[in-house]
Amino acid sequence: MMRRMLRIKAIVNELMQELNNHEYCLDANIQDDDDMYTDMEMLTTYIQELECKLSHMEFALNAQLSLSEVSRDIMEKPSSSNANARLHSEKLNESLKDSMSSPANNIIQNHDFSVGLHLWNPNSCKGFVASSESDYPEGLSEKLRGRFALITNREECWQGLEQDITDRVSAGSSYTVCAWIGILGAPQGTADVQATLKLEFQDSSVTYLFIGRTSASMERWEKVEGTFCLSTMPHRVMFYLEGPPPGVDLLIRSVMISCPNPIGFDSQRTGSLCDDNEDIILNPRFDDGLNNWTGRGCKIVLHDSMGDGKVLPMSGKFFVSTEKRTQNWNGIQQEITGRVQRKLAYDVVATVRIFGNNITSADVRATLWVQAADLREQYIGIATVQATDKDWVQMQGKFLLNGSPSRVVIYLEGPPPGTDILLENLVVKHAAKAPPASPPIIENALFGVNIIANSNLSDGTNGWYPLGNCTLTVKNGSPHILPPMAAESLGAHEPLSGRYILVTNRTQTWMGPAQTITNKVKLYLTYQVSAWVRVGTGATRPQAVNVALGVDGQWVNGGQVEINDDKWHEIGASFRIEKLPAKVMVYVQGPDAGVDFMVAGLQIFPVDRQARFRHLKKQTDKIRKRDVTLKFTTSDSSTLAGTLVKIRQTQNSFPFGSCVSRSNIDNEDFVEFFSKNFNWAVFGNELKWYWTEPQQGNLNYKDADEMLNLCTSHNIQLRGHCIFWEVEATVQSWIRSLSKTDLMSAVQNRLTSLLTRYKGKFKHYDVNNEMLHGSFYQDHLGKDIRVNMFKIAYQLDSSATLFVNDYHIEDGCDTRSSPDKYIQHILDLQEQGAPVGGIGIQGHIDSPIGPIVCSALDTLGILGLPIWFTELDISSNNEYVRADDLEVMLREAFAHPAVEGVMLWGFWELFMSRDNAHLVNAEGDINEAGKRYLALKQEWLSHAHGHIDEQGQFEFRGFHGSYEVEVVGFSKKKVAKTFVVDQGEDPLIITINL
C-alpha cells in the first residue's frame, strides 16, 4: 500500500505540472478551443480524485482499515461523466484543501466523498456523489459546485446521511464536529440542518444526542458544528446529518469529527474545528436584522428607535424589543448549541433596558436553558441587573457547562408580563484568565488597638455625636471587665472605666450614639466589634440592640443581641471593608422608638489571627491526636531492635466534605478533585422535596440516585439535606395549596418515600431545615409536627443521626439564631420526645473571628451533641483574604472537641451559592483558598520514623485515621503493614506481626 501511495503522489505532482501548463496557455490565449478546456477539466477532476483517494488511503493505513474498495482500479482513467466536469482552478484548489485539511485524528472515513458514498448510508432516502456538470441538479448555485454528497427523495425531516462510528469513539473522550453543508429546493431559500448521534444500547433502547444545528442556504456552503461526549459506551453509535423539511435536498461537502486530545487529557480546551469569531453569539448587534434571534414565548421586533424617538440605540444602529409578553420567562433568545464547549467558562455581557406597562424598573435576567441527551433539562442563572425605562444598563455574568448538552439556548427574561425587554447587544466569549492574585498589603495593622475615640468616656461625650435628635448622657455603673470574646482577642488589657452612654429621647429605631471612623479603618483588615449594652425600663417586648456601620450609606452589621431583661449583655461580631470608602460611621441602634438604652466599652480593633492559630495548634494536638505504641512481633528468634520503621498517615478520619450538584458529576475534573480531597458529601438541591417532587405525585429520584452511586463508588459518606424546609418561600406551590388534612398526608408520604428508599444510605438527615427562621409546617399543622417529623424519621431509618440545622449561629449577627436560642430550641424538641442527635451550624460567614466562633461552639457544646458545620462557605474578592478566613474556620472547628465534621457548601467557581467563595476556579485552577485547604489537610496528617527499641516497640503521637508502616531491613526485605488510630484518651497499643 505504501508503494502505491508513493506512486500516486508522483502522478499527482506530474499532473499538477501539466495542469499549470494548460492554465498558462489558456490564460495567454495561446489556445482557446473546447478541446483544450475539456482536457484541462478532465485533468483537474482526475487530480482531485487521486488526491482525495490518497488522503483516504493514508487515513486507512494509519487506522489499519480495509482498503479493498479504495484501491480497486484506482489508476484507471476517470469515467467520461467525470471528464466533463467544468471546474475552475480555484475550485480545484479549494477541494484539494478540503480533502487534505482533514485532521489526522478525524474519525469520519471518506470524509469528503472522494470514494463515492463508501461507508456512508442514506437513511431511508437516496443519495449519490455529484462532482461534475452532468451530476449537478438544475439550478445549483455556482458557489455550491464541487464534489459533494447529494441526499434526495427525502420524505421525513430525520432522513439524511449516516455513518457508523462505533469503533472509533470511546466513553469519556470529547469530540468536536464540523460539517460543510448546503440545501436545494427550499421554498424559503434556507432550512435548518443538524448533526445528530443515534445511540443504540444492549437493552434495545435508543436515544438521540443533538450535536449542532445551523441555518443552511441554497446559495453557499454553511457549517454545522458542535461537540459531544459519551458518558457510557452504547452498543452502536451512528452519526448522521438531518433536518430540512421533506422534499428539500441535503448537500454535504465534507464532515470532520475530531478528538483534539485523547481521554485522560483536557480534551475540551481547544478551539473549534470551524474556528470563527471569538464571540459565539451570531449577529450580536442585529446588523443582520433578526437573523439567528427568536422570541421565547413572545414576539421580537427590530428597531432603530422607539417611543417617538425617545429610545435610541446606545452605541449601535439597532436594538430588539419583545412584544406580547404574558409570562416572566418570555424574552429574547438565541440557540448556541455547537458553539459553546463544556468545561470552558464564558463571560456574558448584554446591554438592556425595559419599556412599557408603566413599569419604571424591573430585574432582567440572563438564563441558560440546557437539554441533555436524555432530555433532562437544566436552567442556569447567568446574571441579573435592575433595568429601567430611562437608560440602557449593562448586565454581566459568567457560566460553564459541565456535561455535553444536546441543546443550549441563552435568553433574557424577568420583567412582569406586559413589560418589554430591550436588547442592544449580547456578547458571549470564552472568559479570559484572571491575572494572578496578590495578598493585600497592610501596613501598621496595630492588632488589638481600639479605633473608637474616648471609648471609656473619660472625656464625657467628646468624639461622640447623636444620630438623630436623641440625647446622649454619660453615667456610671457599667461592667469593669471586657466582654469575654474581646478579652480573649486582646490578651492583656486594662479594665473598663465603668462609665456608659445613656441614650434617651429616641423617636426612631436607628437613633443612638455615633462616631466617624473613616480614616481609622484599613482595607482587608478583619475588625472585631465588642460592647456591653443594656435596655432601659418601659420596654413591653424583647428589644434588639445593634452595632452598625454606615459605609457610604450602606448598612453593615457589626453584631446584635436581643434583650428581654434589665441586665448587661455582650455584643460580639466582626466586619471587614474591601472597597475604599468615602465615609464610614459606626453607630448603635435598634430598640423601639421611645425605649432608652445604654452602651459601655465599645471597642473596634483589628485581630491578629496568627496569634490565635498558635493557640489552636496546641489545642488540636490535644484532641485530634493519640499516643500510639506499635508492638512488633516475629515468629522466629530474630531481634528487631534497631530496625528502621517509617510511618505515613494515608487519611485523616475527620470528616471533611462538600456540597455537590448533579451537573457537577458530569465534569471529570470536578469529580477528580472532589473524590481525592473530601470524604463526605451533601447534595445541594437534589434531595430536597421541591426537587424530588416538583409536582404532586411526580417523583424524581434519578439525580439523587446517580449522585449517591458516584459517592458510594468513591467510599464517600453522605449527609441527607434536607427532608423538610420550614421557610415558606422554599415550599413548592402545590404543597402550600393543600388543606391541613392533605398536607399532613403529604408530609407522611414524603417521609416514607424518602427514608424507605434510602434506608441506611445517608448517615445524617437535616430533618426540618431552618426552624429558627421559618414556621410553614408548624403554622399549618401545629407545634407537634416538628417533633413528629423527627419521631417518624427515626422509626423509618434508625441508623441515621437526625440533625437540626440553621444559620448565623456562630457570628453574632442574628438575634433569631443566637447560641442561647438554638439551645432552647433543641431542648424544647428533646423534651417533647424528638430524637435530636446532632447540631448543624451552616457556617455562611463573613470575616470570622476565632474567639466569637469558639464562644458559640462552647455554648452549644453544653448539650453534649455532636456539632457539624454543615454548609461552610467564605466570601471575599481577594482569594488570599478568603484563604485566611477559611483557615480561621477550619482551625476553630478542628480544634474544638464538640465539632465532629465540616462540610463546605461547594468549592468550584460558578457552582456555589455565594460569589467569590470558591477554592477552585471555573476551569479547574486551584486558587489560594484551595491551596490553603490542601495545605491544612497535609498538616493534619502524621508522619514518623525511627528505630524499634529493645522491647520491640516504636512510639509516636499521631492524628486519628489510617496509616501505613514500613519496616526496613527486617529479614533483608521491606515489610509494609496498615493500621488505624481511632479516637480515645488512653494510649493505643497495636500489635504488628512480622
Q: Which residues are catalytic?
A: 871
Tracing cell 448587661 back to the chain, one arrives at: 568
Say how far apart CA 94 and CA 92 lie, in whole Å.
5
Residue 393: CB atoms within 10 Å: 17
Report DSSP state, residue 698.
Answer: B
Bridge-based pairing state of the strands 249-258 and 148-152: antiparallel
- Lookup: cell for 162: 449516516
Annotate 488-526 with b (16+ C-beta within 10 A) or e (fewer).
bbbeeeeebbbbbbbbeebeebbbbbbbebeebbbebbb
Report DSSP state, residue 518.
Answer: G
Report the C-alpha dihedral over residues 685, 689, 694, 700, rounded to 10 degrees.
Answer: 80
Contacts of residue 150, Cβ cutoff 8 Å, sequence gap at least 6? 127, 128, 129, 130, 135, 137, 184, 249, 250, 251
- Lookup: cell for 333: 433568545
Task: Report the SS3 class of residue 923.
Answer: coil
Task: Report the SS3 class of residue 23.
Answer: helix
- Lookup: cell for 172: 469519556
Contacts of residue 764, Cβ cutoff 8 Å, sequence gap at least 6? 718, 719, 720, 800, 801, 802, 803, 838, 868
Q: Which backbone phi and psi does 828 adopt, to 5 degrees?
A: -60, -45
Say how far apart CA 48 and CA 42 lie, in whole Å.
10
Ramachandran assignment for 414, one of left (phi > 0), alpha (psi -120 to 50 degrees), beta (any other): left
Reference 197, options 108, 64, 98, 269; nearest CA is: 108
- Lookup: cell for 721: 439535606
Say how far apart CA 123 and CA 275 lie, in whole Å.
30
Tracing cell 427525502 back to the chain, one arrives at: 154
Say how far apart CA 360 and CA 830 lie, in whole Å.
52
Q: What residue spans of 758-807 are helical by DSSP H?
A: 776-781, 784-796
Say how far apart CA 257 and CA 108 lie, in whole Å.
6
Q: What is the distance between the terminal CA atoms of the chain, rounded to a whole angstrom?
A: 62
Residue 846: CB atoms within 10 Å: 19
Tracing cell 448549541 back to the chain, one arrives at: 337
DSSP string, 836-858: --EEEE--EESS--HHHHHHHHH
What is the helix, strand, coil percentage profile of the chain, to 5?
Answer: 25, 35, 40
Report DSSP state, residue 862.
Answer: T
Say how far apart CA 127 and CA 738 lie, in whole Å.
60
Annotate 910-940 with b (16+ C-beta within 10 A) or e (fewer).
bbbeeebbbbbbbbbebbbbbebbeebbeeb
Say how far apart CA 710 and CA 730 lie, in whole Å.
27
Reference 624, options 138, 981, 134, 101; nearest CA is: 981
Q: Which backbone phi and psi does 415 adopt, to 5 degrees?
A: -65, 165
Say how far apart CA 969 and CA 991 lie, in whole Å.
19
**Beta bridge partner(s), residue 363:** 386
Q: Are 316 and 285 in contact (CB under 8 A)?
A: yes
Reference 139, options 201, 195, 183, 101; nearest CA is: 183
Say how far apart CA 652 and CA 655 lie, in whole Å.
8
